[in-house]
Structure 1
Amino acid sequence: MARQLEEQISARFPVGQRLRVLDVGMGRGTQALRLARAGHQVTGLEQDAAMIAVARETLAGEPEGIQERMRIIEGDGRETGAHFLPGSFDVVLCHGVLMYVEEPDPLLAGLARVLAHGGLLSLLVRNGDALAMRPGLSGDWAGALAAFGTTAYRNQLGLDVRADRLGALTDTLAGIGAPLHTWYGVRVFTDTAVAGAEVPDDVEALLAVEERAGRTDPYRGVAALLHLCGVRD
């Protein structure tokens, strides 16, 4: 999934352009580190001390040049104005974060403010229009029925969280000055894969199918996750 997102983000910019990237809620830093390895200047913002410790330990094992391109800041994504000046970044990532935020609009408005003109706001959210897919494909018919007409669900960590709908986020992005440029489906066919399963021999074919489905209707509309790309106007 990380490679798919990276390719979708990079498609917005000329090949070889070095980007200033902010990863809000970076977690263990997987996506941030991939982008730093690719030559971009990356800032990771995270409030969970345990996640930060893992990210710092991983970064310490990287070559010096990559370490110099990535910095880690402890902080809340809702307080970007306290850490960064307006227009500081070419790309702002907010992946797997909105599901934990009850009122996401102020957070998103703050992220748009730190984007440079023409910059990309990259959101990865649970698809609120397809919550019945996972339980339905798993044969959990009661769970599938309960998923219709709601955006509430229990994630794989056992936490009660919230999904987002494409239409509502499209309106929000327009309202904060970063209207939707394009969107993709993520994990169209692989959402029910068992965590920790062995990588299949035909993984490249699997990735090719997921990438194609993620940009093709009607498949992308029933993906487990949505990747929305808004562009700062």
Structure 2
Amino acid sequence: MARQLDEQIAGRFPVGQRLRVLDVGMGQGTQALRLARAGHKVTGLEQDATMIAVAREALAQEPEGIRERMRIMEGDGRETGVHFLPGSFDVVLCHGVLMYVEEPDPLLAGLARVLAPGGLLSLLVRNGDALAMRPGLYGDWAGALTAFDTTAYRNRLGLDVRADRREALTATLAGIGAPLHAWYGVRVFTDTAADDAPVPDDIDSLLAVEERAGRTDPYRGVAALLHLCGVRG
């Protein structure tokens, strides 16, 4: 999905513009660090102390110029109004966070407020319209039947979390003044791959197929994850 994000950034902002980026729930800082290396000024917000430590260690290995462009903060995405002024960022990332938030609308409204006009809000969420796919592909027919009628599921970490339906998120984005601009499917064919699976020899072909499927109906609609991009009006 890095290519999808780069595409949206390139389509929204002049080439070479140094953007102010907020990465909410940055985890180990992989995406934030990638954007800092590209020349952007990045703030990573994370509440897990272990993740923060890993991100700080990775940042410490970078050249001084990159270290100066990236700031790591401990905090919750629901507290952006406390930490940042309205319009503080050109791009806000919220990837793999909403599934842990029972009521996502207030969080999303807060993220929209810290976006500058024309700014990009990038969401990566579990696809609530395709929850039956994973158990179905594993042959768990009882689990698949149950998944049709819920947005709740247990993730690979064993945590009970929730998924989002694209139609509902589209309405939410419109309501907070950052209407949906583009959306993609992520992990269309690779959702059942183990986290520790070895990299296949034909990785380039795999990525090309996933990239194509993530942009193409009906495949993107049954992806494990959805990448939605809203633009602040």
Q: TM-score range by the shorter chain?
A: over 0.9
Aligned to 2:135: 135
Between 195-204 and 93-102, report the one with greater CA deviation. Answer: 195-204
Specify the alignment match of 1:214 in structure 2.
214
Deviation per CA, 1:8-37: give whole Å up to 9, x if none: 443433333221100001111111111111
Q: SS of the residue aligned with 2:11?
A: coil
Query: How far apart are the structure 2 equivalents of 1:35 and 1:56?
Result: 15
Spell out, residue by residue over 1:125-165, the C-alpha distance to the aligned partner (whole angstroms, 9 max, x if none). 00000001111111111111111110000001000000000
Task: Quote the Cα distance in structure 1 between the aligned partners of 2:11 and 2:136.
Answer: 35
Aligned length: 232
Q: Is the 8 A contact 1:9 1:122 kept in 2?
A: no
- The residue correspondences of 1:54-69 to structure 2 (distance < 5 A) are 54-69=54-69
Paired residues of 2:5 and 2:122 also in contact (CA < 8 A): no
Give the aligned residue type for 1:104: P
Cα distance change on mapping 1:207 and 1:15 into 2, 3 Å: farther
User: Percent same amino acid at aligned positions?
Assistant: 85
Q: Unpaired runs of 5+ in structure 2?
A: none
- In the alignment, does 2:161 pair up with 1:161? yes
Q: Distance in 1 between matches of 2:139 and 2:156?
A: 17
Normalising to structure 1: TM-score of the pair? 0.96
Name structure 1 gaps, 5 residues minimum.
Answer: none
Amino acid paired to 2:158? G
**Equivalent residues of 2:24, 2:92 under 8 A apart:** yes
Structure 2 counterpart of 1:33, which letter?
L
Aligned alpha-carbon RMSD (Å): 1.1
Instruction: Say which SS state the counterpart of residue 197 (structure 2) adopts.
Output: coil
In 2: Cα distance, 1:71 partner to 1:141 partner = 46
**In 1, Cα distance between the equivalents of 2:217 and 2:38?**
30
CA distance 1:155–1:107, change in 2 (3 Å): same
Whether 1:79 and 2:83 are equivalent positions in the alignment is: no
> In the alignment, residue 11 of structure 2 is paired with which amino acid?
R
- Contact 1:98-1:104 within 8 A present in 2 as well: yes
Please state if 1:19 is matched with 2:19.
yes
Local SS of the residue matching 1:120: strand
Question: TM-score of the superposition, structure 2-length normalised?
Answer: 0.96
Q: Is the contact between residue 6 and residue 35 of structure 1 (CA under 8 Å) also seen in structure 2? A: no
TM-superposed CA distance for 1:5, in Å, is 4.4
Question: Structure 1 residue 39: deviation in Å?
Answer: 1.2
AA aligned to 2:42 is: V
- C-alpha distance in structure 2 between counterparts of 1:219 and 1:167, whole Å: 17
